[in-house]
Amino acid sequence: MLPEALIQALREARHVCVLTGAGISAESGIPTFREAQTGLWEKHDPMDLATPEAFLRDPALVWRWYRWRRSLVAGATPNPGHRALAQLEELVPQLTLVTQNVDGLHVRAGSRNVIEFHGNLFVTRCFVEGCVIEVDDEAEVPSCPACGGHARPGVVWFGEAIPEQALERSFAAAQDCDVFLSIGTSSLVYPAAGLAELAKRQRAVVAEINPGPTGLADRFDFAIPGKAGAVLPELLAGLSGDRR
């Protein structure tokens, strides 16, 4: 049973800001960052692969990891959690969806106002210039057609800055919203994990949805135990007054 106070806050909200992490894609079959990577990758820690240093050390290994993740996502479909957020966007005056995920599943589920805080798995950039490029994906390490340097996945690695526009829009949404929902994230990666605190500081109602409490749980007004694919449709039913 969801807290009536949270449902009421959503009914009255002018602006809802949502932050999602790997957990919302777990029910689409995409492994989360901190679960052991299955199969080929269990001996690698994603923290060691998602860095510019790892790429420079072994670009072919990093490309193999990202190709493996692209194939996982290509075979996945949005789950009821993704779809509920797309429907929520139709029910509230304004919804800003900030995702740490790079899988593009929110857009495929129909969400429109999506900020890809850590980039997108299916975008390729020049490692030297940073610009978006199209490459011949057959090469083990594709090259930039303009400068001949390495091509890289268009994601934000550890130690790299968040794209300025994504950072500004996300901070503005956290500081403006009436309700902030943190869904499926361990709240360990910054600056994304700092958004909830920005919302709390301006007295938004803040709630997290996660099977287990995260390190920020005591900073939230509500810590709702459960899977996104179950809790979000229930939240939607409560909001549209259709109790199951």
Binding site for ligand BV8 (CB under 6 A): 21-24, 26-27, 32-34, 50, 100-102, 118, 155-161, 184-186, 188-191, 210-212, 214, 227-229
Min dist CB 14 to ligand BV8, Å, is: 26
Q: Among residues 184 and 238, whose Cβ is nearest to ligand BV8?
A: 184
Cα torsion 111, 112, 113, 114 to 10°: value is 60
- The residue with its CB nearest to ligand BV8 is 23
Cα–Cα dist 221/82, whole Å: 23
Cβ 180 to ligand BV8 shortest distance, Å: 16
Nearer residue to ligand BV8 within complex by CB, 21 or 238: 21
Q: Which of the residues are catalytic?
A: 118
**Cβ–Cβ < 8 Å for 208, 231:** no
What is the closest distance, in whole angstroms, from the C-beta atom of residue 87 to ligand BV8 in the complex? 17
Q: Which is nearer to ligand BV8, 5 or 68 (CB)?
A: 68
Nearer to ligand BV8, 39 or 212 (CB): 212
What Å distances lie between residue 128 and 106, 125, 143, CA to CA?
A: 29, 9, 10
Cα gap 20→102, rounded to integer Å: 11
Residue 226 CB neighbour total at 10 angstroms: 13
- Find the shortest distance in angstroms from Cβ 39 to ligand BV8: 17
Cβ pair 143, 135 in contact under 8 A:
yes
